[in-house]
C-alpha cells in the first residue's frame, strides 16, 4: 500500500495526472484496504458498548467497592484489557464497579474468585490506585476481553490528577473535573464529554478520539490510526494523527495546532492562532467570530486578531471568513491548481498555476486584522466570504 501511494504522489508531481485525480485514487486505495480488527472506529466501538450495556442481565460476576472520595486528590485506573467508563451521579459516595458477561463453562463462583484475585487496590487518604493484573495465560485473557470498569463519583467531585489506562478497550469519560488528566489506550476509542480540566493528555494507538464540550487550558490529543473530533473552549489545543481526519466544530481557542499525515482537516472555529498541516488531504477552515474576537476588535492595538497557516502537499485548501470581514492579508504558495481570493465581492488574487512554484501576496485594505499563509503543491486554493446565515452550524 505504501508503494502504491508513493507512485500516485509521484504521478501528481510529474503532471501525469491532476491533483483531483490523484486524491480520488488515494481515497480509493484507502477504501480497498481491509480494516484492522484492532482499530475499530468510534461509531463501531460505541455500538459494541451499547450491545454490552444491553446485555448486563447476562453478566455472571461483578466486583464493587464504595467509599468516600471527598479527600482524594489522585485517582488512577489501569486495566490491561477492558473498557473504562467515568460518570457522575447524585449520590454522596463514589462507586467502582467491575462487570463482565457470562461465559460458558465458568461458574459464578469461579468468575468472582478470579475477579477478587486479579484486582489490586492501593488507597490512602489522598490517593486511590486501582489496577487489574495483566493476564498470564489464555484463560485470563479470555475473561479480560469482556470486562467493563465503571466509576461513579458525586457531581461535585474534583481531583488534582486523574489517570485511566487500558491496553485493549475504550475510554468514556463524562463530566470529569480535574486539574490534570491522562487517558491512554492502545486499541480503542477515547470519548470525553463536558470535561473541565486545566491540562489533558489523551493518547490512542488505534482508535478515534472525540472531545465534546470541553473547557481546558491545554489539551493534547494524539492517535496513530483514527479520527480526532473536538468542540469546546481551550487556551491551547494540539491534535495529531497519522492516518485520519481532524474535525473541529463550535470551538473557541487561543492557539490551535492540527497535524495529520493522511487525512483531511475540517475546522470551524474562533481562534487567535491556528496551524493546519497534512501531507495527503484537503484543508477546509471557517474562521468564525466570537464574543472574545469582537471585544478584541474594539480595543485593537495593532496586534493580529487571527493568524492562520494551512499547508498540504496533495490537496485543495478552502478558507472561509464571515461576510463583512476586514483587514485580511497574506500569501499563497502553490504549483498546480488555481489560487483565488474574493472577499466581500472584491477580488484580491486570481492566478492559475502551471507547474512552477508561484507566490501571490495580497492585502485587503490598510488594516491587518487577519493573517493568512497558505501552501499547497498539488491542489487549488480558494479564499472567500460567506454570509453567517449560510455557514454550516458549528
pLDDT at 344: 96
Is the predicted pLDDT of residue 376 greater than 80, yes or no? yes
pLDDT at 31: 59
Q: Where are the alpha helices (DSSP H) in the chain?
A: 2-13, 19-32, 42-54, 108-118, 138-144, 291-298
Is the predicted pLDDT of residue 34 greater than 60, yes or no? no
Is the predicted pLDDT of residue 298 greater than 60, yes or no? no
pLDDT at 191: 98
- The lowest-confidence range among 30-44, 195-209, 240-254, 262-276 is 30-44
- The lowest-confidence range among 168-172, 231-235, 262-266, 299-303 is 299-303
383 falls in which pLDDT band (50, 70, 90)? very high
- The lowest-confidence range among 65-69, 289-293, 322-326 is 289-293
Cα–Cα distance measured from residue 99 to residue 120, given in angstroms and rounded to the nearest whole number: 15
Residue with cell 469546546: 232
Cα–Cα distance measured from residue 214 to residue 248, given in angstroms and rounded to the nearest whole number: 12
The answer to whether 350 touches 334, Cβ cutoff 8 Å, is no
What phi, psi does 91 have (nearest 5°)? -85, 165
pLDDT at 36: 41
336 falls in which pLDDT band (50, 70, 90)? confident
Q: For 227-236, what is the mean pLDDT? A: 98
Cα–Cα distance measured from residue 170 to residue 186, given in angstroms and rounded to the nearest whole number: 9
Give tens-digit pLDDT for 303-317: 678 999 999 999 999
pLDDT at 109: 84
Give tens-digit pLDDT for 74-113: 999 999 888 999 999 999 999 999 997 656 567 788 888 8
pLDDT at 14: 61
- pTM score of the predicted model: 0.84
Is the predicted pLDDT of residue 290 greater than 90, yes or no? no
Angle (deg, nearest 10), helices 19-32 and 2-13: 170
- Element of type H or E holding 94: strand 94-101
* Percent of all residues in the chain with a pLDDT value above 70, rounded to a whole number: 76
Cα–Cα distance measured from residue 43 to residue 46, given in angstroms and rounded to the nearest whole number: 5
Mean of the per-residue pLDDT values for the chain?
Answer: 86
Is the predicted pLDDT of residue 62 greater than 50, yes or no? yes
133 falls in which pLDDT band (50, 70, 90)? confident
127-132 and 119-123 beta bridge pairing: antiparallel
Give tens-digit pLDDT for 135-168: 666 666 565 567 899 999 999 999 999 999 998 8
Amino acid at each position: 500500500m505504501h508503494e502504491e501511494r508513493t507512485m500516485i504522489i509521484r504521478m501528481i508531481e510529474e503532471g501525469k495526472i491532476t491533483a483531483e485525480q490523484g486524491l480520488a485514487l488515494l481515497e480509493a486505495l484507502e477504501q480497498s484496504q481491509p480494516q484492522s480488527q484492532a482499530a475499530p472506529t468510534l461509531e463501531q466501538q460505541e455500538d459494541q458498548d451499547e450491545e454490552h450495556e444491553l446485555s448486563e442481565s447476562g453478566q455472571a460476576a461483578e466486583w464493587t467497592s464504595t467509599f468516600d472520595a471527598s479527600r482524594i486528590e489522585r485517582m488512577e485506573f489501569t486495566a490491561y484489557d477492558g473498557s473504562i467508563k467515568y460518570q457522575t451521579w447524585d449520590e454522596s459516595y463514589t462507586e467502582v464497579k467491575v462487570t463482565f458477561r457470562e461465559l460458558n463453562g465458568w461458574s459464578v463462583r469461579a468468575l468472582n474468585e478470579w475477579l477478587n484475585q486479579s484486582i489490586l487496590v492501593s488507597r490512602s487518604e489522598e490517593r486511590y490506585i486501582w489496577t487489574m493484573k495483566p493476564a498470564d495465560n489464555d484463560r485470563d485473557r479470555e475473561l479480560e476481553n469482556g470486562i467493563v470498569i465503571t466509576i461513579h463519583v458525586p457531581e461535585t467531585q474534583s481531583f488534582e490528577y486523574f489517570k485511566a489506562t487500558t491496553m485493549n478497550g475504550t475510554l468514556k469519560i463524562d463530566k470529569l473535573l480535574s486539574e490534570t488528566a491522562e487517558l491512554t489506550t492502545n486499541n480503542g476509542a477515547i470519548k470525553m464529554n463536558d470535561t473541565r480540566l486545566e491540562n489533558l493528555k489523551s493518547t490512542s494507538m488505534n482508535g478515534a478520539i472525540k472531545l465534546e464540550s470541553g473547557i481546558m487550558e491545554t489539551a493534547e490529543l494524539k492517535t496513530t490510526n483514527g479520527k480526532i473530533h473536538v468542540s469546546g473552549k481551550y487556551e491551547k489545543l494540539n491534535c495529531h494523527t497519522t492516518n485520519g481526519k481532524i474535525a473541529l466544530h463550535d470551538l473557541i481557542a487561543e492557539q490551535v495546532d492540527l497535524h495529520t499525515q493522511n487525512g483531511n482537516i475540517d475546522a470551524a472555529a474562533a481562534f487567535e492562532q491556528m496551524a493546519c498541516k497534512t501531507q495527503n488531504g484537503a484543508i477546509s477552515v471557517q474562521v468564525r467570530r466570537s464574543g472574545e474576537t469582537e471585544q478584541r476588535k474594539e480595543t485593537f492595538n495593532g496586534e493580529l486578531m487571527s493568524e492562520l497557516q494551512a499547508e498540504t502537499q496533495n490537496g485543495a485548501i478552502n478558507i472561509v471568513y464571515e461576510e463583512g470581514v476586514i483587514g485580511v492579508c497574506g500569501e499563497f504558495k502553490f504549483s498546480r491548481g488555481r489560487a483565488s481570493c474574493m472577499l466581500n465581492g472584491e477580488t484580491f488574487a486570481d492566478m492559475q498555476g502551471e507547474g512552477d512554484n508561484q507566490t501571490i501576496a495580497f492585502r485587503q485594505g490598510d488594516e491587518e486584522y487577519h493573517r493568512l499563509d497558505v501552501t499547497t503543491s498539488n491542489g487549488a486554493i480558494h479564499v472567500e466570504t460567506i454570509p453567517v446565515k449560510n455557514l454550516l452550524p458549528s
